[in-house]
Amino acid sequence: MRADILIIGQGLAGTLIGWECERAGLAFAIVDQGHATAASRVAAGIINPVTGRRLVKSWRVETLLSQARETYQLIGDALAVPLWRELRVRRLFADAVERAAFDRKRQTGELAPFVTDAGDEAGFWIERAARVDLPVLLVAMRARWEAQGRLQVRRADPWVEATQYAWVIDCTGSQGARTALARVAPWEFSKGEVLKVNVSGLDSDVVLNRRHWVMPSGIETAWVGATHDPGVIDPTPTEVGRARLEASARDLLGREFRIIDHCAGVRVTLRDKLPAAGRIGSGLGVANALGGKGALYGPMLAAEWVRLIRFGTPIDRELDVARFGQ
């Protein structure tokens, strides 16, 4: 059966759209050159309901959290791999500004039901967080689609491919936002670096967070991240980034650790901090700018795309790339 839909890029966005197409019985193919430079490859996959120095709830988190849980658990069952893990975040105050923000929002109930008091002055707990194992997801789904004959390892120009398929969806992240899709939206870029460390004695269900985070990821291993360098598009790890993360690891862990890996990737974001999806031409569309919250936003973005393809349902106005008037 000839594919009607071509997904370009098998990072998180492309993988989730492909999964929703498969569930819906749509004929699709994926073009991807590998995960060597994909931001999803080094993403922690943390879903944190409350983020930032101003302690803000993630956009539509009450709805999106349950949708994400259902999606990743369904995929995990289909692939026979565990992808979803419930976590708590021990948020430690970085300074008086964060402490004041917490006190103010606790009094108003603005952060309910996700925040609870820790019983001390150091910080608080964020409940109902989770981690999605994105590297396992990408590798396992790639193997599935290779076995099905859906995956093509080659370069692809979305504008050219749009003449061959009913739908072409560009999900190439920073590569697409800097080249073929550069004028579609006011893309912004941020380099992020992470460390993988060997460390013992951590609670496997708790993420430590103060400016940076430490997330247990296996037997005596954890990820430390992530830096945020706006405007930087070089995905090469740096000594400066390593030093910053080492300092945070010493602060958060309070014990000996050994660095075993150092990775970097480039996030794509937009000024309103929401992703972008939708048509950008005849038969051509985009899914991009998942930023640091891709694990939370990705399932909704994929479902929106498949509803558009199947039923012509417009993309949610807050997500539609047309909001930028391009």
For 261-284, write each residue's pLDDT tens digit: 999 999 999 999 999 999 999 899
pLDDT digits (tens, 9 = 90+) for 154-188: 999 999 999 999 999 999 999 999 988 889 999 99
Indicate if the pLDDT at residue 209 is higher than 60. Answer: yes
- Tokens for 1? 């059966």
Indicate if the pLDDT at residue 140 is higher than 70. Answer: yes
Residue 265, φ and ψ in degrees, nearest 5 = -155, 170
- Collapsing DSSP to helix, strand or coil, 191 comes out as strand
| CA dist list (Å): 189 to 65, 178, 235, 264, 283 | 25, 9, 11, 13, 26
User: CB atoms < 10 A from the CB of 191, how many?
Assistant: 24
**Per-position DSSP letters for 87-108, written without gaps between them:** EEEEEE--SHHHHHHHHHHHHH
Residue 44 confidence (pLDDT) = 87
- Confidence band (pLDDT; 50, 70, 90) for 38? low
- Give percent of the chain with pLDDT exceeding 70: 97
Indicate if the pLDDT at residue 317 is higher than 90. Answer: yes
Mean pLDDT, the chain, integer: 94
User: CB atoms < 10 A from the CB of 167, how many?
Assistant: 21
Residue 55 confidence (pLDDT) = 95
DSSP state of 208: E
Domains assigned to the chain: 5-45+133-186+272-324 (3.50.50.60), 188-269 (3.30.9.10)
pTM to 2 decimals?
0.95
* Gap between the terminal Cα atoms of the chain: 35
Sheet holding 5-8, edge to edge: 151-152, 28-31, 5-8, 167-170, 284-288, 276-281
Residue 35 confidence (pLDDT) = 52
In terms of residues, how long is the chain? 326
| AA identity, residue 1 | M
Indicate if the pLDDT at residue 128 is higher than 70. Answer: yes
- Rounded Cα distance between 257 and 59, Å, is 35
The mean per-residue pLDDT over the stretch 136-152 comes to 96
Residue 177: partners with Cβ closer than 8 Å, 6 or more residues away: 185, 187, 189, 268, 288, 289
pLDDT digits (tens, 9 = 90+) for 227-244: 999 999 999 999 999 999
Residue 12 confidence (pLDDT) = 96
- Rounded Cα distance between 71 and 13, Å, is 13
- Give percent of the chain with pLDDT exceeding 90: 92
Residues forming beta bridges with residue 189, ordered by sequence position: 268
Which helix (H) or strand (E) segment holds residue 56: the answer is strand 56-57
Indicate if the pLDDT at residue 40 is higher than 90. Answer: no
Residue 326 confidence (pLDDT) = 57
- Collapsing DSSP to helix, strand or coil, 138 comes out as helix
Indicate if the pLDDT at residue 1 is higher than 60. Answer: no
- Collapsing DSSP to helix, strand or coil, 301 comes out as helix
Residue 34 confidence (pLDDT) = 77
Residue 2 confidence (pLDDT) = 67
